[in-house]
């Protein structure tokens, strides 16, 4: 990929966890799985592919490999802080999948632990609590943007589809 | 993939936009690009791969192909409602990428349109505005969950890494 693309935080995320299996491995790790056998059972994935994906997630800084038995030597895979923080992406995917493809009803939900009421996840600004919608918010080039990136973001209309329009 | 995996809304999302190029095409579409040439220029992608990815995004219901010129016949690609709604996933990716990989500073930000203050996107429950953190919220099986899925969600500890722990 060209240099100008790798400045984009979305492209960077994709580079770190691009393929489908990696997202599903991280999903399972976020649910609490740590061992090779557990991932294999959950995903029904070929061992050689699982090994490759786990290694690449370790290399990308999403998982770390830790020995939990000496005889025989056995390892487990634990989420790093960046891997744990990837839950925000996985949860956004779950919410989007539920909104558009759960035609037979929901099979996974986030619920209020006390009332059992189903949550409807949306992105807001942490500090003000306001939804990230136009025209209140817009996409902008940051201080580290290259000239090409600045130009890209300047050409984005204020009512960009990237941000939902406030109702 | 096994049937038990496709009930998962995360796996479903991944199936619809699994590969890296598809995410970047959707990113560009959310920024306002519609034409083959625009995508090609932005992504530096081989035309045959771009054609294949655009077709698969049309098949997956994320983009629709619309004719904008009769002589010569020319088409553009417009986001469907599901494609437009995918911004929530792309924005979560951008925020995550910015938090972990923007070592030289931010090059893309969401800012308050009036004050220019940088937003910090987090997921909250739309109705109550509360952050989706444990122990307030938990992951649960929905009404359409199969027995296997119910078992999976029952085994998730209440303090799952899938949800951030409230501070």
pLDDT digits 0-9 by tens, A8-55: 777 777 777 767 888 889 999 999 999 999 999 988 899 999 999 999
Q: Once rounded to an integer, what is the mean pLDDT over residues A63-85?
A: 94
Model confidence over B129-159: pLDDT tens digits? 999 999 999 999 888 888 888 888 888 888 8
Domain-located, residue B48? yes
- Are B135 and B96 in a shared domain? no
Confidence label for B60 from pLDDT (cuts 50, 70 and 90): confident
Averaged pLDDT, B99-124: 89
Co-location of B100 and B77 in the same domain? no
- CA–CA min distance A84, chain B (Å): 7
With 0-12 CB in 10 A as exposed, 13-18 as middle and 19+ as buried, what is A50?
middle
A3 pLDDT exceeds 50? no
Q: Would residue A136 count as lying in a domain?
A: yes
pLDDT digits (tens, 9 = 90+) for A136-167: 999 998 888 888 888 888 888 888 888 988 87
Same domain, B16 and B78: yes
| Contact (Cβ atoms closer than 8 angstroms) between residue B124 and residue A124 | yes
Average pLDDT over residues B23-36: 92
**Residues of chain B found within 8 Å of residue A134, distances taken between Cβ atoms:** 113
Q: B27 with B76, same domain? A: yes
Q: Which domain does B48 fall in, by range? A: 9-85
Model pLDDT, residue B2: 38
Q: Is residue A61 part of a domain?
A: yes
In this structure, what DSSP letter does residue B145 have?
Answer: -
Nearest to A10 among B9, B11, B93 (CB): B93
Give a yes or no: residue B2 inside a domain: no
Q: How far apart are CA B69 and CA B76, in angstroms?
A: 9
Q: Residue A24 belongs to a domain with what CATH number?
A: 1.10.10.10
* Position B117 confidence tier, pLDDT thresholds 50, 70, 90: very high
- A164/A102 same-domain check: no
Look up residue A40 and give its two tokens: 């294999």
Does B3 reside within a domain? no
Interface probe, candidates A25, A50, A107, chain B, greatest B C-beta count within 10 A: A107
- The count of domains in chain B is 3
> Both A39 and A52 in a single domain?
yes
What would the 3-class secondary structure string for B127-140 be? CCCCECEECCEEEE
Residue of A123, A144, A154 to mutate for B, most B C-beta atoms under 10 A? A123
Residue B42 inside a domain? The answer is yes
pLDDT tens digit sequence for A87-111: 989 898 888 888 888 888 888 889 9
Residue B4: inside a domain: no
Residue in A16, A46, A161, A163 to test binding to B, most B beta-carbons within 10 Å: A161
User: What pLDDT does B4 receive?
Assistant: 41
Query: How near does any CA of chain B get to the CA of A69, in Å?
Result: 24
| Ranges assigned E (strand) in A35-73 | 63-69
The structure's pTM equals 0.88
Q: Do B108 and A84 count as a contact with CB atoms less than 8 A apart?
A: no
Q: Are residue A42 and residue A76 in the same domain, yes or no? A: yes
With tokens 């020995």, the residue in question is A67
The per-residue pLDDT for A55 is 94
Q: Find, among B109, B146, B32, B106, the residue nearest to A161 by Cα.
A: B32
Contact A141 B109 (CB under 8 A): yes
Nearest CA-CA partner of A153 in A164, A137, A139, A165: A139
Residue showing tokens 């444990």: B134
């Amino acid at each position: 990929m060209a240099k100008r693309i790798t400045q984009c935080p979305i492209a960077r995320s994709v580079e770190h966890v691009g393929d489908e299996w990696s997202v599903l491995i991280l999903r399972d790790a976020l649910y609490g799985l740590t061992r090779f056998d557990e991932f294999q059972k959950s995903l029904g994935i070929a061992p050689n592919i699982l090994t490759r994906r786990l290694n690449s997630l370790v290399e990308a800084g999403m998982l770390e490999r830790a020995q939990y038995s000496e005889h025989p030597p056995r390892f487990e895979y634990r989420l790093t802080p960046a891997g744990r923080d990837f839950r925000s992406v996985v949860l956004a995917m779950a919410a989007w999948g539920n909104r558009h493809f759960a035609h037979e009803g929901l099979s996974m939900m986030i619920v209020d632990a006390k009332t059992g009421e189903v949550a409807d996840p949306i992105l807001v600004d942490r500090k003000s609590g306001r939804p990230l919608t136009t025209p209140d918010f817009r996409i902008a080039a940051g201080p580290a943007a290259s000239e090409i990136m600045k130009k890209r973001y300047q050409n984005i209309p204020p009512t960009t589809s990237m941000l939902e329009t406030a109702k």
